[in-house]
Chain A
Amino acid sequence: MDHEHNCWQCGSADAGSLFCRYCNSLQAPIPDYYAFFGLPRTLSVDTDELQNRFYSMSRLLHPDRFTRRSEQERRYSLEASSILNDAYRVLRDPIRRAEYVLKEAGYEIGEQRSKDVPPELLEEVFELNMALDELRMGDDGVLPQLDEMRRRFLEMLAAIDAALETKFQRHDTRPDDGGKAEVLEEIKSALHRRRYIRNLVNEVDRQLSSRNA
């Protein structure tokens, strides 16, 4: 994906992304993760291909390659490598990738610790809090129950991940001008649910490990 701009070094128009196609000097990096990798904005990503691109772009952009170049290019190399690394970290992980796409599309992604319990989970959360209270008061009798709940939460996570995968494909096949927004909205609420359950599992793990300590 080329960005129209003039090369800072030789002044040529349509210099091209990464390196100027005329004088080969490193250009200011594009901050968008997909554009930077030259990938279409899809939620499903071939991670093997992504890794190949990451390696070959690292070879070109890493600061090690610019030790003896101009100050300006060294700065661009640092910026470009940090974007490359950040982008790779986000795009290789389906959840972070989806969050990134949502955020860039202008959706507010909830805070890490959201207080809104998804309604369908109300009963489970109530039960869990009771059990954790009893554990804190020293009642080890709730341990089997906690284990069972933890297992159920993990199952829910797996189910959400599988559903997300289909939603990703649905999003990618819809045209830009219609339908995408609707799927993104669904993904957003699935991610919210997922984050909530993930936090519950973490809480159980924390309580169990502090009891063992």
Chain B
Amino acid sequence: MSTFQIDFSAARRKRIVGIDLGTTNSLVAFMDVTGPEVIPGADASRLVPSVVSLNDGNGFVVGEAARRLLIDRPERTVYSVKRLMGRGVEDVREELKLFPFRIAEGSEQVIRLELGGRRFTPPEISAQVLRELKKRAEEYLGEEVTQAVITVPAYFNDAQRQATKDAGRIAGLEVLRLVNEPTAASLAYGLDKRNDGVVAVYDLGGGTFDISILRLREGIFEVLATNGDTHLGGDDIDNRLLAIALEDIATEWGQDVSGRGEAVQTVRRAVIEAKEKLSFVPTAVIDVEFEGKRYQREIARDLFESLIRDIVDRTLGPCRQAMRDAGLEPEQIDEVVMVGGSTRIPLVRSAVEVLFRAKPHTELNPDEVVALGAAVQAAILSGDVEDKLLLDVTPLSLGIETMGGVVSKLIHRNSTIPASATEVFTTSVDGQQNVLIHVLQGERELVKDCRSLARFDLKGIDPMPAGMARVEVRFMIDANGILNVTARELRSGKEQSVEVKPSYGLTDAQVEAMIVEAYDKAEEDFRARQVREAQVEADSILAAVEKARASGAWLRLDDGERASIDLALNELQMVYHGDDHHLIRSRIEKLDHATRKLAESMMNTAVREALKGTRI
């Protein structure tokens, strides 16, 4: 059967998808004609667990399948990798005590995880999750997807944002915008609610906490203040229950299993299940079965709440700070929106209600609202949504090191982005040709208490007496919250390109190398898919021929015709299991040609059958 193919691709604008790359789960969504929609997988699942496992063939397994491997193959499987994005090994010392990350040697600048004898950076692992989401979107939408909006915690710093962008690049996605998760959520909510006012978005996810306060006016979503903690989330709650269960087990079984990956993962799953139940029922049982042994413990909500109260309380400080920064009192907040799976916990809801003196909104699924908002932002970028605009802020102040290890702030936190600052530097020694600039992010006064973002050298200054040179450096935080630096020598007016070397993170060349690697794999994947598609087509024609043998039409063929069909059929079967989809397709065509008369004859019979008993 021939179909008439019309190529709309040139006329149609490329679709941009919205991605929520979460600590625990990730989702991809797009803007449908009726509004934003989460794209389901072939199995109808909407969430892709952010878990990646390396199989024996050195390929990756991602999502639900990988989550199951956490128990069987913990040494080849990673979860919660978002906690490591854009961080140095010093930053995550505390995490390492609680998470079974295997950090390879030489991870000072960029963390490398060991997985089945190979090493991967966090962006490479995240890229696998992104590739899975990309594939999902492509299969569902029936077109190639190369552009995306990805969400990040509002409180992510420059390095963490850059790492997320790198992950996108490695996955073959052009990241058109990084959007802060709470802001994205407000976009999703703002679609239904057209009224203007002040909204607080409380976002407690698997590994991060954000609070953002926005003013909505005539389609403008203006963030007034944001605050948070990039190391606070549902994982911490799990760890509390996990510690108790492991301790109990050690006593009951007389055996400490806390050092065994499979055992810990089994217990972790059991406590997560109990935790989730406790949001809906007053008691739940932690139920563990491992190597023929059983551990059961009933947990009442009261006990659970006393265990996690301090974790919930830790979210309130950032909320108060954000209100102060926005210059608002709780009474002035019109609505509170809840985002993130952990906001299903009743204690979290009541704490928020008390603080803001308003009943929080929970109409939208807290797991999906961020992805839906990302899809709205994608539609804003593509021009499909024109009446909305997000004005976000930078969560952390940006400064440079000055004399005595003190930070001089150039761009203050909660400044609307894009934001910029200009500073003129000079030399302090006669004939000095370089000026070293150290950029930091954070709120503290001293360099040692802030996060080192980058160091760079202003080179090639003409030798002159100290203090005579004037180099103007422009710091620009773009709409993604990422820093860009340019420099200009004021005497000559010559523009100097500044290579900003991140203190933590991958260089451009390193990312480039990873893209190539991923691309090679993508080629492989693509070929495998084409072979599979050809096989599916072959299956259907082989089955049709088999069915035709039993029909009257088959009997009406002459011997020569039957022989040529059998020959073509054999030829197709011979190449069926090969890896050349071109060959499979050409044999399908041959068989198709050989069976043309048979098909016509069957068609006529079918028509006659259909017309039988029909009066004309």
With both chains docked as a complex, state the minimum distance between the C-beta of A85 and any C-beta of chain B, in angstroms. Answer: 4
With both chains docked as a complex, state the minimum distance between the C-beta of A116 and any C-beta of chain B, in angstroms. Answer: 21
How many residue pairs, one in A and one in B, have C-beta atoms under 8 Å apart?
55
B220 and A63 within 8 A (CB): no
Q: A55-B217, A78-B476 are in contact. Are A64 and B389 (CB under 8 A)?
A: yes
Interface size on A, residues (CB 8 A): 18
Which residues of the partner chain A approach B377 to less than 8 Å between Cβ atoms? 64
Nearest 8 interchain pairs by C-beta:
A82-B418, A82-B420, A85-B416, A67-B381, A63-B479, A81-B418, A55-B220, A64-B380
Report A's interface with B, CB cutoff 8 A. 55, 58-59, 62-65, 67-68, 78-79, 81-83, 85-86, 88-89
Does B335 reach chain A (CB closer than 8 Å)? Answer: no
B479 and A62 within 8 A (CB): yes
A89 and B476 within 8 A (CB): no
Which residues of the partner chain B approach A86 to less than 8 Å between Cβ atoms? 419-420
Which residues of the partner chain A approach B390 to less than 8 Å between Cβ atoms? 64
Q: A58-B220, A62-B479, A81-B479 are in contact. Are A67 and B416 (CB under 8 A)?
A: no
A-B CB contact pairs (8 Å), 13 listed:
A55-B218, A58-B220, A58-B391, A63-B479, A64-B177, A64-B389, A78-B479, A79-B420, A82-B417, A82-B477, A83-B420, A85-B418, A86-B419
Chain B, range 401-433, C-beta contacts under 8 Å to A? 415-420
With both chains docked as a complex, state the minimum distance between the C-beta of A120 and any C-beta of chain B, in angstroms. Answer: 30
Give CA–CA (A89, B478) in the complex, Å. Answer: 16
Which residues of the partner chain B approach A82 to less than 8 Å between Cβ atoms? 417-420, 476-477
A64 and B420 within 8 A (CB): no
Which residues of the partner chain A approach B419 to less than 8 Å between Cβ atoms? 82, 85-86
Chain B, range 368-409, C-beta contacts under 8 Å to A? 377, 380-383, 389-391
Give CA–CA (A59, B417) in the complex, Å. Answer: 14
Which residues of the partner chain A approach B389 to less than 8 Å between Cβ atoms? 58-59, 62, 64-65
With both chains docked as a complex, state the minimum distance between the C-beta of A130 and any C-beta of chain B, in angstroms. Answer: 25
Q: A58-B389, A81-B418, A82-B419 are in contact. Are A67 and B382 (CB under 8 A)?
A: yes
A88 and B220 within 8 A (CB): no
Does B176 reach chain A (CB closer than 8 Å)? Answer: yes
From A59, A63, A68, A89, B383 is in contact (CB under 8 Å) with A68
Q: Which of A58, A64, A67 is the most central at the interface, judged by chain B CB atoms within 10 Å of its CB?
A: A64
Which residues of the partner chain A approach B417 to less than 8 Å between Cβ atoms? 82, 85
Which residues of the partner chain A approach B415 to less than 8 Å between Cβ atoms? 85, 89
With both chains docked as a complex, state the minimum distance between the C-beta of B384 and any C-beta of chain A, in angstroms. Answer: 11
Give CA–CA (A118, B286) in the complex, Å. Answer: 69
B478 and A63 within 8 A (CB): yes
Which residues of the partner chain B approach A83 to less than 8 Å between Cβ atoms? 420
Which residues of the partner chain A approach B177 to less than 8 Å between Cβ atoms? 64
Q: A55-B220, A67-B381, A67-B382 are in contact. Are A62 and B476 (CB under 8 A)?
A: no
Q: Which of A55, A68, A82 is the most central at the interface, judged by chain B CB atoms within 10 Å of its CB?
A: A82
Which residues of the partner chain A approach B391 to less than 8 Å between Cβ atoms? 58, 62, 85
Chain B, range 281-334, C-beta contacts under 8 Å to A? none
Which residues of the partner chain A approach B383 to less than 8 Å between Cβ atoms? 67-68
| Chain B residue at minimal CB-CB distance from A51 | B217
A64 and B479 within 8 A (CB): yes
With both chains docked as a complex, state the minimum distance between the C-beta of B12 and any C-beta of chain A, in angstroms. Answer: 13
B478 and A78 within 8 A (CB): yes
From A64, A68, A88, B416 is in contact (CB under 8 Å) with A88
| Chain A residue at minimal CB-CB distance from B391 | A58
| Chain A residue at minimal CB-CB distance from B412 | A89
Give CA–CA (A85, B416) in the complex, Å. Answer: 6
With both chains docked as a complex, state the minimum distance between the C-beta of A26 and any C-beta of chain B, in angstroms. Answer: 14
Give CA–CA (A81, B177) in the complex, Å. Answer: 16
Give CA–CA (A59, B388) in the complex, Å. Answer: 8
Which residues of the partner chain B approach A85 to less than 8 Å between Cβ atoms? 391, 415-419
Q: A55-B220, A63-B418, A86-B420 are in contact. Are A68 and B382 (CB under 8 A)?
A: yes
Give CA–CA (A64, B217) in the complex, Å. Answer: 18
B416 and A89 within 8 A (CB): yes
Known pairs A55-B222, A83-B420, A86-B420. 17 more at Cβ < 8 A?
A58-B391, A59-B389, A62-B479, A63-B418, A64-B177, A64-B381, A67-B382, A68-B382, A78-B418, A78-B478, A79-B420, A81-B479, A82-B418, A85-B417, A85-B418, A85-B419, A86-B419
Give CA–CA (A82, B478) in the complex, Å. Answer: 8
Give CA–CA (A55, B217) in the complex, Å. Answer: 9
Give CA–CA (A86, B393) in the complex, Å. Answer: 12
With both chains docked as a complex, state the minimum distance between the C-beta of A150 and any C-beta of chain B, in angstroms. Answer: 18
With both chains docked as a complex, state the minimum distance between the C-beta of B510 and any C-beta of chain A, in angstroms. Answer: 25
| Chain B residue at minimal CB-CB distance from A66 | B381
Give CA–CA (A160, B15) in the complex, Å. Answer: 56
Give CA–CA (A78, B483) in the complex, Å. Answer: 12
| Chain A residue at minimal CB-CB distance from B415 | A89
Give CA–CA (A62, B220) in the complex, Å. Answer: 12
With both chains docked as a complex, state the minimum distance between the C-beta of A17 and any C-beta of chain B, in angstroms. Answer: 19
Chain B, range 195-245, C-beta contacts under 8 Å to A? 217-218, 220, 222
Give CA–CA (A81, B479) in the complex, Å. Answer: 9
Which residues of the partner chain A approach B381 to less than 8 Å between Cβ atoms? 64, 67
Give CA–CA (A89, B177) in the complex, Å. Answer: 24
With both chains docked as a complex, state the minimum distance between the C-beta of A93 and any C-beta of chain B, in angstroms. Answer: 11
Give CA–CA (A63, B176) in the complex, Å. Answer: 10
| Chain A residue at minimal CB-CB distance from B219 | A59
| Chain A residue at minimal CB-CB distance from B421 | A86
With both chains docked as a complex, state the minimum distance between the C-beta of B503 and any C-beta of chain A, in angstroms. Answer: 24
Which residues of the partner chain B approach A68 to less than 8 Å between Cβ atoms? 13, 382-383
With both chains docked as a complex, state the minimum distance between the C-beta of B317 and any C-beta of chain A, in angstroms. Answer: 14
| Chain A residue at minimal CB-CB distance from B383 | A68
Which residues of the partner chain A approach B420 to less than 8 Å between Cβ atoms? 79, 82-83, 86
Give CA–CA (A14, B380) in the complex, Å. Answer: 32
Which residues of the partner chain B approach A59 to less than 8 Å between Cβ atoms? 220, 389
With both chains docked as a complex, state the minimum distance between the C-beta of A113 and any C-beta of chain B, in angstroms. Answer: 11
| Chain B residue at minimal CB-CB distance from A31 | B422
Q: Which of A65, A68, A85, A88 is the most central at the interface, judged by chain B CB atoms within 10 Å of its CB?
A: A85
| Chain A residue at minimal CB-CB distance from B477 | A82
Which residues of the partner chain A approach B13 to less than 8 Å between Cβ atoms? 68
| Chain A residue at minimal CB-CB distance from B484 | A78
Which residues of the partner chain A approach B477 to less than 8 Å between Cβ atoms? 82
Give CA–CA (A95, B156) in the complex, Å. Answer: 31
Give CA–CA (A78, B475) in the complex, Å. Answer: 12
With both chains docked as a complex, state the minimum distance between the C-beta of A88 and any C-beta of chain B, in angstroms. Answer: 7
Which residues of the partner chain B approach A67 to less than 8 Å between Cβ atoms? 176, 381-383
Give CA–CA (A141, B506) in the complex, Å. Answer: 56
With both chains docked as a complex, state the minimum distance between the C-beta of A212 and any C-beta of chain B, in angstroms. Answer: 15
Give CA–CA (A56, B304) in the complex, Å. Answer: 50
Give CA–CA (A83, B416) in the complex, Å. Answer: 11
Give CA–CA (A89, B220) in the complex, Å. Answer: 17
Give CA–CA (A64, B417) in the complex, Å. Answer: 12
With both chains docked as a complex, state the minimum distance between the C-beta of A80 and any C-beta of chain B, in angstroms. Answer: 9
